Each structure stands twice: as C-alpha cells, then as structure tokens.
Amino acid sequence: MKLLKNILLLMLLSSSTDLLLAQEIAGTANTQRITYITGKVDKKVKHDSILLVLQGPFFSYGTMHPEQFSPGTLKTIVNKDGEFKFKIITVNSPFHISLYISDKRDTTFGLLNSCGDIDKYLIEAGDSVHIAFATSSRTFTGKGAALFQTQYQVEQADKDRKELMSDPTDALHHNVKHWLARKDSLLNVKLNVLSLNKLELSSTSYNIVRGDIISDNRFAVYNLLYSCLPLFATQGKIPPDFAVVFDELKGRPDYIDHADRAALSPKYVDYLYNKLRFEAKYKLLLDSPSTHFDHNLCNDINEQFDGLLRDKLLAWWLYDVNSLNRLQPEYLANALSVMKTPNFIEMAEELKAVFAQGQPITDYDFKDAKGRTVHLADFKGKVVLVDFWFSGCGGCINVAKGLPKVEEAFKGRNDVVFVSMSIDKNKNKWLRSISSKPTGIYYTHYTTPTTVYLYTGGTAGNNPFIKKYVPLGAYPFLLLIDKGGKVFSSTPPRPVGEQNQLALIKEIKRALDTR
C-alpha cells in the first residue's frame, strides 16, 4: 500500500518514542500538533516496557489483531521509577491509540493480545495526558484527561464487555426480544455515562466516542444475529419472533449521520459493514431460503453510502471477502469503478496486484519437518495448492480432512504439489499437529504422506509471506499457484464436503490444462 503508507506515514525521529503520523481524514488541516502521553506504572503491576499502537483505518473484533493496518507501534522502556513518555506528531485531528503494559503477545502467532490496558482510546491532537496505572484502576491528569476519564467510565459500565457478551446463543433463541432489549439497555447505560461528561468534551470527540460506544454494542448484536442465519437457512424458515426483531432493527434510524466525521471511525465502519452483511443475507433468506450467500456487497454499499465513507466500506469489504477466499475479479472491478479516495483505491489496487490471476508469487523460503530449507521457487513447473492453517483452528481441520480425497485424484502425478503451510509459532506444536499418528488434541492437520509440510520458522503471522498473502490473518486460506509460479486462483473451493472436493479437483485440473 505505497500511497497509504505515505498518508499514514511513520517516521521515527530522535528517539524510539517519537512518531510522525498523517491520518486519512478528508478536509483536515495539515497543521501538525504534538501530542504527549506520559504515565507511571505502580510497582505492584508487573511491567518492563510500554507499547503504544496507533489505530489504522480499520478495526474488527472478529478478524483483526491490533497491529493490522496500524501506521506504527512504538515501544519504550519504563524507568526505575515506573515512568514512561511518548511524543507523537500528527495532523490536527483526533486519533485512536492502545497502550500495553509489557509486550503481551500470544504464543500461537506472536501477535499482540486483542485488548490493551488502554484499549482503542480516542485522543485529541495536541493533548498531553498522564496515566497512572494501579493494580485495578487507571487515573488521568493533564490536558485531555477528561476525554480519557470519560472513556474509562464507559468501559467500567461493562468491564471486559462481560454483560455485552454474556448471553449464550441458547439465551438468544429462547427469547430474542428480551435478548435485544438487554443489549439496548446496556447501550443506553453507556450512552448516559457519556452524556454526563458531554460538557467536558469537544463536539468532535463527543460524537466519535458516541459512535464507538454504539459500534461496540451493535457489532455484537449483528454479529450474533448473523451467526443464526445459516441455521434458519437449513431449516428453510425464519422463526416469527426473529423476523419481528430483524424488521424492527431494520426500521430504526441511523445512529449517526453518514456525513458526520464520527461515521468514519474504524469501529463505526466495522459496525456498518456487519449491519450491511446481515441485512443482505437476511433479504436473501426472505427471497429464497438457501445456505448460499452472495458476498457481493458492492451495490449495497454504493446505494447507501457515498464519498469517503463509501470508499472506506468498499475497501474493508474487499479485504474481508479476500480473507474468506472469495475475492472475485468482478468485486475488485466494480469497487474500483466507483471509488474516488486515493488511499482506498490504492488498497484495492494492491489486492489486485497480489491476488489477481497471473500475478507472480514472491519467492520465500520455509523449513520442512526435517529442518530442510524449501523455496516456493523449487516447485516451478508444477501446480501448487497452498493450505494456510494453525493448530486448533476448527475450519482448518475441516479443510485438512477434505484434502486427502483431493490429493487422491492426482495420485502418481509429479506436476501437482500440495503444500501444508503452518503459521504456528511453536515448532513442537506444529510437528504434533502433522503427525501421522496423532494423539489427544493434536489430531488435526496430517493429510497424506506426499503432502509437503512447511513451517514459518517461528515467525508465525509476522512472516512477510503470510502478511502479504493472508493480510487479515483469517484461516484457513487456500492459494492455487500455476506452473509458472503465478497466482492461478485466490478463491479455490475449500474441500469441505464431497461437492466442494470435486469443485477443487476441477479447479486444479483447470490450472494443469492452462498454458
């Protein structure tokens, strides 16, 4: 994303805690402001460093880790008195940050935990906020403290989102009207907390935080309702009480005017996208009950939105469908035909440059189960199906179970290679997962003796090949490479069920027959 990187510019200055960030906000003056974030960590809180992650243009609770799309992550050492300091130079507009006490990365991917100790807080450019971290509380002083304190109070109204996420699916099915009423009530509680602090905030910050509160709640609502739709498709009908709730939600007015700056907040964009996705699938079920869902939301987005918000939603939709192995060429063409915002056009063009048929695959090297180095270029002259996965991924297991039947169709041929690409950070976990004699929880990903099992050498999701070809980190992901070492398809069928296995076999044969 060359242009995006110029707009979301990361420039380290005299120390590791200085940052120059220009944000993608239309109509914002180019005047630069210096923002300070300082703090002190109580001795009772385990710490060695502080990480600051700047929020990029997108955020999703479901599919993204905190550093995806981030213009920069900064790290500073806490001094002997527990103090730290960050200096950030930005354009004159609010932005979101997360702070992590120590470098908290999971052992599977080596990625930051999804929630920071200060999690996606809005800050005004030019503020100077001091944060005191105690074992069970946070206090804020300095310019901009009221904005942080307000977000903290909102957060405490449902600590760790327990109430929002507490209802299991069976509670929703038992009484969906009551379930929605509880979520509405929780939303109102948080909005009331914000309202009590309105006079202490700028109108811009108030509106953005309001949008973030709404997004957090409504994302959870639409995400869970969306998960019910496949069941209703299988049953061939939508229960009447669900239909009433669905129609009521659709009839509610927009929470924020689409022309408002707050609608561009990464969280609000994700909420709007999930709402669009739900409404499109619900309409499909009303017209013709089916488990099939056309993921082409381009017309829906284009009809309901315009300008920067439309382009941002289109870019997010393209990345999302790509993560599902469903980025069709016409999706890119349709989106690019209406997009006007240069940085989001650049994002779409980059997806096209990476995943369009005929694009060269960048060569990388990996390790096999015996520790030998294997280059993707070693397979040139052969059709290669790459299966990206990690241990414990349910969808990945389903793909692995279907691959042996696909490989069987090409038994004895030396012009087809099946590559099993693990992004496990722990080598031993990977080796247990590909054992031909699995035990316990590690039964999963062994397919056949002829499969080429590769490993990213502990780099996991930070591996440059993985970051390029699985940009949202959503698994499983399949990639079909032609004999010339170029992309043949980034949308090969996942071999789950006999019909999809036959479809994948057909796609591989088509790649073999293509000159």
Query: Do 306 and 374 reside in the same domain of the chain?
Result: no
Q: Which of 144, 112, 139 is CA-nearest to residue 39?
A: 139
pLDDT score of 18 more than 80: no
> Residue 49 domain-assigned?
yes
Summarised one tens digit per residue, pLDDT across range 343-380 is 999 999 999 999 989 999 988 999 999 999 999 999 99
> Residue 393 domain-assigned?
yes
> Residue 103 domain-assigned?
yes
Query: Do 69 and 131 reside in the same domain of the chain?
Result: yes
What CATH number is given to the structural domain containing 496? 3.40.30.10
Q: How many domains does the chain have?
A: 3
Q: For residue 386, give both structure tokens.
A: 């790459």
pTM for the predicted model, two decimal places: 0.86
Residue 171 has a pLDDT of 64
What CATH number is given to the structural domain containing 59? 2.60.40
Residue 28 has a pLDDT of 46
Query: Do 319 and 425 reside in the same domain of the chain?
Result: no
Query: Do 139 and 261 reside in the same domain of the chain?
Result: no
Summarised one tens digit per residue, pLDDT across range 376-415 is 999 999 999 999 999 888 899 999 999 999 999 999 999 9
**C-beta separation of 434 from 446 below 8 A:** yes
Most confident among 48-62, 155-169, 234-248, 478-492 (mean pLDDT): 478-492
Q: Which of 104, 173, 135, 122 is CA-nearest to residue 41?
A: 135
User: How many CA atoms are closer than 13 Å to the CA of 222, on its beta-carbon side?
Assistant: 26
Taking the C-alpha atoms of residue 435 and residue 331, their distance in angstroms, rounded to an integer, is: 39
Domain limit, last residue, from 305, 340, 375: 340
**C-beta separation of 291 from 233 below 8 A:** yes
| Pairing of β 118-123 and β 365-368 | unpaired
> Which structural domain, as residue segments, surrounds residue 447?
365-513
- State the first-to-last Cα distance of the chain, in angstroms, to the nearest integer: 31
Class of residue 355 by CB neighbours under 10 A (exposed 0-12, middle 13-18, buried 19+): buried
Domain limit, last residue, from 89, 124, 143: 143
Query: Do 222 and 333 reside in the same domain of the chain?
Result: yes
Amino acid at 87: K
Taking the C-alpha atoms of residue 217 and residue 421, their distance in angstroms, rounded to an integer, is: 36
Query: Do 395 and 461 reside in the same domain of the chain?
Result: yes
> Residue 165 domain-assigned?
no
Query: Do 378 and 331 reside in the same domain of the chain?
Result: no
